[in-house]
Amino acid sequence: MRALVAAFFVLLSAGCTHRRASPPTEMSGFLDDYTLLRDGGPNELWRVYRNPKVDWHAYRAVLLEPVTLWRSGRKSLDPVPQEDLLRLVTDFQGAVRTALGEGFPFVEQPGPGVMRLRLAITDARAADPVLDVLRASQGTGRPHPAGTGPLHAETRRFLESAVIEGEIRDAQTNALLAEGVDRRRRGAPPLETWAEVDRAFAFWADRACARLEARTGVP
């Protein structure tokens, strides 16, 4: 039986056309292949890859997966309030949906001309023995007690080291269209309030979505 199971997994892996490359130990492992990334240009993401063979004008709709937060095990971010982590992924997802919704319809199923967008806020390392993932859909739905006011001290520290990772794939074929990793500019003033965090999310989403619209030719 053990040999049969082993043979099954060998056949399964041989039949897969999409394989994950081992990520650098300092990255989370959210993206499949970090070796494709190159330094971004002015006003671009910190590290970026775009498939040169993509016909971007063929894409007109977006399948947006729930934004996630990757951390190194459940205890790695214990000092950060859980409700803060859930608010971060929820607010980020809201900013992206708002920015994308100005140019693209959202769909729930793969199909021709549909881009699948995955995004995550990460503070994890692939070398860590345990990774834990929070999803935006896990929010409580209740108003955050801080409102737009000051951030918790540990939440501020988390945001200083966290990065945004994302990828765009053809929703029908799973072909990689683009991917990137972004982080706060070195020397940037720390984020002090939730209002500042939401403005930062909106700025990031507007900038990224404007580039996507320019590439696809969306008016």
What pLDDT is recorded for position 9?
30
What pLDDT is recorded for position 77?
78
What pLDDT is recorded for position 74?
62
What pLDDT is recorded for position 8?
29
- Give the pTM: 0.83
What pLDDT is recorded for position 208?
94
Measure the CA dihedral 149/152/153/155, to 10°: -110
Give the CATH fold of the 22-216 domain: Double Stranded RNA Binding Domain (3.30.160)
The backbone torsions φ and ψ at residue 167, rounded to the nearest 5 degrees and listed phi first, read -145, 155
Residue numbers of the chain with a pLDDT score lower than 50: 1-19
What pLDDT is recorded for position 99?
96
What pLDDT is recorded for position 116?
98
**Whole-number Å distance between alpha carbons of 11 and 7:** 6
Sign of the four-CA dihedral 34, 197, 75, 154? positive
